[in-house]
Amino acid sequence: MSRRRRYDPNIKKNSTFALNITSMTDMFTILLVFLLQTYSTSDVQIIPETGLRLPSSASQSNPVEAIKISLSGEALKIDQTKIADVKNEDFLPQDLEEKDSNFIKPLFEELDKLAKNSSDKAHVKEGRILLQADKELPYATLRKVMYTASMAGFPQLKLVTLVGE
Amino acid sequence: MRRAKKIKINHHSEFDLDLAPLLAVMVKLVPVLLVSSAFVQMMVIETELPQVVSEAIQKQDQDKTPTIIALEVDGKDGFNIVVTEKGQDKVENVPMKDGAYDLPALHQKLVAVKKAHPEIFKLELNPDSKVPYKEIVKIMDEVRQAHDPSVKFPVFDTKQGKNVDTPYMFPEIVFSNMMEG
């Protein structure tokens, strides 16, 4: 019986090999260009609320430091804290003042508290508000927020919009 | 004299470019840019006004009998541009077109109003309760400045002592019916 010869690959023990990184460099260059395009120069970062569709506008002003209010079809929030519920594009009757249907009681209380506790901050002193509102909401609902905010000493309202269509 | 030694250059030789340092830089740059990237760009509606326009607005605020330009937005009638001058109202209507707001027609009418009243920079916006927020933002876009770059409006610059041109029409928008019950 003939014995089969064992396969012996020809490997040099101390050899080095050069990794071809040209394609990887190409990929990184494309990635770099894309990231440079989306680079944000704004000082203030706004985190988009889930379930809230912002309107788009041609405005090119960067957001400034302010109290962030979001108004979606479900809730009114300050930062991430829920202030009042929204149902059928309107606030619930228990959250509104009986005599004045534009006055949102919990929003006024919260803004009043912020004005008293953070009075040393420039944006609170100047009464700046960044409002993120759902694009399908009617003006009547928005007006209630604007009205209450100005009553609480926050008359500078800035509407947050998306860039382009 | 000794002849200079001729350097032999092999024009057919190949060499490998070392891309490793370039890749090292990119590997560091990519995470930095990823952190500071804004994939959804958000802006605010607020116009940065040039000094001349700001001065004109202040001057307008000091006026005891100012000319008031108001824009009423209604879901049925469309737009009503109300110009109050010396206590008298002059109303101009921009009707709806195919069930939607006729924004180009509104823009043209406002350009004409601005040309007639170049000293006015404030516009009172009175939307109806049912007007959706997205329509209000679109209307504000039409009102703030002229879309055509060749259309300019003169403003008197007190420092230079002459008129300067700006593209701004009504950069100061006030929701005047906000406090109404």
Beta bridge partner(s), residue A69: A78, A131
Can you spell out the DSSP letters for A64-132?
-S-EEEEE-SSEEEETTEEEEEEETTEE-GGGB-SS-TT-BHHHHHHHHHHHHHTTTSHHHHHTEEEEE
Identify the contact set of chain B against chain A, taking CB-CB distances under 8 A: 16, 19-20, 22-23, 26-27, 29-30, 33-34, 36-48, 127-134, 136-138, 140-141, 144, 175, 177-179, 181
A130 with B44: CB under 8 angstroms?
yes
Residues on chain B touching A158 (C-beta within 8 angstroms): 44-46
Q: CA–CA distance from B110 to each of B18, B101, B123, B132, B180 (Å)?
A: 62, 14, 10, 21, 25
pTM of structure: 0.74
Say whether pLDDT at A137 is over 90: yes
Q: What is the pLDDT of residues B34-67, one digit of tens each?
A: 887 766 666 666 644 555 555 666 666 676 667 8
Residue scoring higher pLDDT (A129 or A38): A129
Give residue A3's pLDDT.
Answer: 57
At residue B14 the predicted structure's pLDDT band, cuts being 50, 70 and 90, is: confident
Q: Can you say how many angstroms the Cα of residue B29 is from the centroid of all Cα atoms in its chain?
A: 33
Compute the average pLDDT of residues A54-75: 85
d(CA B50, CA A144) in angstroms, rounded, equals 32
d(CA B107, CA A73) in angstroms, rounded, equals 31
Give residue A106's pLDDT.
Answer: 92
Q: Is the ipTM of this complex over 0.90?
A: no
DSSP secondary structure letter of residue B158: T
Compute the average pLDDT of residues B131-159: 85
DSSP secondary structure letter of residue B22: H
